[in-house]
Amino acid sequence: MTSTTRTETRTETRTETRTLPLVFDEPRGRRKPPRHLADLTPAERRDAVVAAGLPGYRAKQLSTHYFGRLVTDPAEMTDLPAAEREQLVAAVLPRLLEPVTNTATDAGTTRKTLWRLFDGALVESVLMRYPDRVTMCVSSQAGCGMACPFCATGQGGLQRNMSTAEIVEQVVDGARTLARGEVPGGPGRVSNVVFMGMGEPMANYAAVIGAVRRLTDPSPDGLGMSARGVTVSTVGLVPRIEQLAQEGIPVTLAVSLHAPDDELRDELVPINTRWKVGEVVDAAWRYAETTKRRVSIEYAMIKDVNDQAWRADLLAEVLLARGDWGWVHVNLIPLNPTPGSRWTASRREDEREFVRRLQARGIPTTVRDTRGREIDGACGQLAATGAPVKAPVAAPAVAPVAAPSPAQ
């Protein structure tokens, strides 16, 4: 997908771009992660417990330990007969994520964890604590097949899809870290989950929907989070956006648009060669119409590539053509540096003008902060190379966890 010969002349930096292919399916023959409680619906958990030769009602007790108390250590499951605990844990609570490194910045309120999965695959998650919320940014695939040239994950290709439980475990670990008071600001809870880590969530649809259900199912079947606090971000797999709209879970949809015109988007977001700007924006609009949730348009601001004033006007036009009833909001992301990329973030004045033009047309526009940049934990920087980290903190053991006092 090299840039085509252009007849018109505009002052902008073009690129030779990479020739990475788009990959939708994970490589064949990879072993599946072990089955885990969080992969299963409540009915399936019961079946699994019965199949292990134990009473079906133990499933609910185990769910309470895992989703309610964030406990996986048999020693802490004192309401269960000692003889059954090990058996239950062995049957449905295998350890799926091993912490490799933990890196912190912002006085400990931003923490990136590098995880090793059962087969050696590496993924990352990021916890960000703000005064009013805690956001967990989770990975949904080891690597990514979408090949966006400005994203570190996209440049590494796809290793494999993650399972529902591997996704959920990232959130449970964050929840546990917060509950234990290990993040400055006192004990807390995860209020938001964004599928903006490694991977393209819509290319691993079934596992991602499973994870969304586990996050939003009421405790103890799930973590009991509000669907409004969950954001699924996509490069724009149109049929999957349509499918998500029909699930009846009002999660926030974010679409990584990055260009309002097909010529540039073909290059920046290669999936555009499959589904064009018009199609993806139509799908986003239908999502907002169906779910009544405002859609977020993500737009990484790349100096002299996609940040021209005329592109701001064109973006406004493309969005407003579908309606001006507040169905959409634009989130500009200052480009974060990635290895080998020759692109840089927009000038401040160009960013300001871009915002001004969108806002002048009545489109709510925000500029995302660059949290995590110092630890390569910001948007587009997750590569899970295991490269030396800049400010390592000790990786905590995952289990055991202190049991909450009876008063809690």
305 binds ligand SAH, rule: CB under 6 A: no
Q: How far is the CB of 363 from ligand SAH (least distance, A)?
A: 17
Contact set for ligand SAH, span 198-227 (CB under 6 A): 200
State which of residues 233, 296, 306, 308 lies at the interface with ligand SAH (CB under 6 A): 233
Number of other CB atoms surrounding residue 324 within 10 Å: 12
* Nearest distance from C-beta of residue 154 to ligand SAH, angstroms: 7
Q: Closest by alpha carbon to 184, among 285, 286, 108, 113? A: 108
Go through 15-44 and write b for each residue having 16 or more CB atoms within 10 A of its CB, e for each that does not: bebbebebbeebeeeeeebeebbbbbeeee
Span near ligand SAH by CB under 6 A; candidates 3-11, 95-103, 215-223, 333-341: 333-341
* Member of 204, 308, 338, 346 binding ligand SAH (CB under 6 A): 338
At its nearest, how many Å lie between ligand SAH and the CB of residue 343? 8
User: Applying CB under 6 A, does 244 fall inside the site for ligand SAH?
Assistant: no
Q: How many binding residues for ligand SAH (CB under 6 A)?
A: 17
Among 336, 346, 375, 401, contact with ligand SAH (rule: CB under 6 A): 336
Q: Is 59 in the site for ligand SAH (CB under 6 A)?
A: no
Provide, rounded to whole angstroms, the least separation between the CB of residue 16 and ligand SAH.
18
151 binds ligand SAH (CB under 6 A): yes
Q: Contact region for ligand SAH (CB under 6 A) — 102-110, 259-267, 289-297, 330-338?
A: 330-338
Helix (H) or strand (E) holding 40: none
Is 124 an active-site residue? Answer: yes
Q: What is the 3-state secondary structure (H, E, C) of 198-216?
A: CCCHHHHHHHHHHHHHHHH
Instruction: State in angstroms the smallest separation of the CB of 255 from ligand SAH.
Output: 7
Contacting ligand SAH (CB under 6 A), which of 37, 117, 379, 384?
A: 379
Nearest-approach distance from CB 333 to ligand SAH, in angstroms:
4
How far is residue 189 CA from its own chain's centroid?
A: 18
**Interaction pattern, residues 251-270, with ligand SAH; x per rule: CB under 6 A:** -----x--------------
Which among 126, 104, 113 has a CA at the least distance from the CA of 184? 104
Q: What angle do CA 149, 153, 154 make, to 5 degrees?
A: 35
Whether the CB-CB separation of 247 and 209 falls below 8 Å is answered with yes
Residue 287 has φ and ψ, to the nearest 5°, of -60, -45
Closest to ligand SAH by CB, 179 vs 257, is 257
Write the DSSP symbol of residue 195: E
Residue 143 contacts ligand SAH per CB under 6 A: no
377: CB partners within 8 A, 6+ apart:
103, 105, 110, 112, 124, 126, 371
Give the angle subtended at the CA of 272 by the CAs of 268 and 278, to the nearest 5°.
Answer: 115
Among 124, 169, 200, 267, the active-site one is 124
Cβ 255 vs Cβ 300: under 8 Å = no
308 lies in the site for ligand SAH, by CB under 6 A: no
> Does 66 interact with ligand SAH (rule: CB under 6 A)?
no
- Running DSSP on this structure, what letter comes out for residue 185? T
Return residues touching ligand SAH (CB under 6 A).
146, 150-151, 196, 200, 233-235, 256, 298, 300, 333, 335-336, 338, 379-380
Question: Which residues belong to the active site?
Answer: 124, 379
